[in-house]
Amino acid sequence: MRIKILGSAAGGGFPQWNCNCRNCESLRAGTFAGKSRTQTQVAISSDDRTWFLLNTSPDLRTQIEATPVLHPQNAGRDSPISAVLLTSGDVDQIAGLLSLRELQPFRVYCTASIQRILQEDNSVFRMLNRAADQVLWTEISSDGNFTLLTMAGKDSGISCAAFSLGARYPAYVSQERTASLKSEDALLGVIVTSSAGGRLAHMPAVPAVDESLLQRLEDADLLLFDGTFWSDDELIRVQGSGSTAREMGHIPVSGAEGSLRKLAGLRRPRKVFVHVNNTNPMLDESGPEYREVRAAGWEVAEDGWGFDL
């Protein structure tokens, strides 16, 4: 299975349009010891011809253009992208769906609750179903296994195990709507397995790490994990107010209860942080936070990275 990191930043990207934090400011000034990043986007394939997107970032159009295997391969209108798997309704996971309009058929795998939010409450997504043979919505359970199918209905050789990671819906979902939805549908983690046996665990948003999550991750080959914030009060310190990392549904990287410590016992997977917020000091490759992450055996994903499992 081939895995491509098309984007690795959290919502807003790096730099973020309205941010002048130390990272964003010095990146713009050309003095930052690190790389710019688009918003987190992953693509996977078992045959290098048919591709599946894990979520759809707001930067998807430029990410596709930067990735030749995702360009049309045949004359006329065509795309190697067969399907999209959505793990939440967050804007930075779904906004790219709007870049996939233009009457192109593909599948969308998501929970029934996310489908209702997108199709019933947000009429702009009707652009995906203007024609009868356009987007095929496939409901998945928040606790179950399914196989990714090509648009033609062929088994891709990639199977997925989904599990619930949290009960928090995005702020744009009304309280009335939230009350009618299953809480376990709000946020999924997925373990993706190729027919050859390679296992990818993808979880760009993780509110907390418990024993059952650790067990699920033990036999993964590659872990793409929530690296949004270094510390719980990071945004408050930059903005002067706001929410903590945990209140926003992200376990911080550092600290006694952070992901570095919590996942330190995982021996098998290659451990890579994705969804890194522009304020996170571990983006600075000359700084102590970056050194601490690398010394702990973790990597900080960059746009354009690829893996073969």
**Any contact of residue 282 with Zn ion (CB under 5 A)?**
no
Options 13-21, 42-50, 178-186, 285-293: segment touching Zn ion (CB under 5 A):
13-21
**Any contact of residue 228 with Zn ion (CB under 5 A)?**
no
Q: C-beta of 22: minimal distance to Zn ion in Å?
A: 8
Q: C-beta of 9: minimal distance to Zn ion in Å?
A: 10
Q: CB-wise, 19 or 263, nearer to Zn ion?
A: 19
Q: CB-wise, 184 or 284, nearer to Zn ion?
A: 284
Q: CB-wise, 284 or 299, nearer to Zn ion?
A: 284
Q: CB-wise, 19 or 188, nearer to Zn ion?
A: 19
Q: CB-wise, 19 or 64, nearer to Zn ion?
A: 19
Return the amino acid letter for 138: T
List for the chain the helix, strand, coil content (%; round to 5). 25, 25, 45
* Closest to 242 (Cα-Cα) out of 251, 233, 250: 233
Q: C-beta of 278: minimal distance to Zn ion in Å?
A: 4
Options 12-20, 152-160, 184-192, 216-224: segment touching Zn ion (CB under 5 A):
12-20
Return the amino acid letter for 99: S
Site pattern 236..275 for Zn ion (x: CB under 5 A): ----------------------------------------
Whether 84 and 5 have beta carbons less than 8 Å apart is answered as no
Q: CB-wise, 21 or 173, nearer to Zn ion?
A: 21
One of 278, 290, 293, 302 touching Zn ion (CB under 5 A): 278
Count of residues that bind Zn ion according to CB under 5 A: 4
DSSP state of 63: H
Give me the phi and psi of 203, to 5 degrees please.
-150, 85
DSSP state of 169: P
**Any contact of residue 283 with Zn ion (CB under 5 A)?**
no
Q: How far apart are CA 278 and CA 271, in angstroms?
A: 20
The β-bridge partners of 137 are 108
Q: How far apart are CA 252 and CA 245, in angstroms?
A: 6
Give me the phi and psi of 166, to 5 degrees please.
-175, 165
Options 21-29, 56-64, 195-203, 268-276: segment touching Zn ion (CB under 5 A):
21-29
DSSP state of 100: G
**Any contact of residue 19 with Zn ion (CB under 5 A)?**
yes
Q: C-beta of 23: minimal distance to Zn ion in Å?
A: 5
User: H or E element: which one contains 178?
Assistant: helix 175-179
Whether 288 and 264 have beta carbons less than 8 Å apart is answered as no
Cβ-Cβ contacts under 8 Å for 239 (sequence gap 6 or more) = none
One of 1, 10, 24, 274 touching Zn ion (CB under 5 A): 24
**Any contact of residue 60 with Zn ion (CB under 5 A)?**
no
Whether 158 and 309 have beta carbons less than 8 Å apart is answered as no
Interacting residues with Zn ion (CB under 5 A):
19, 21, 24, 278
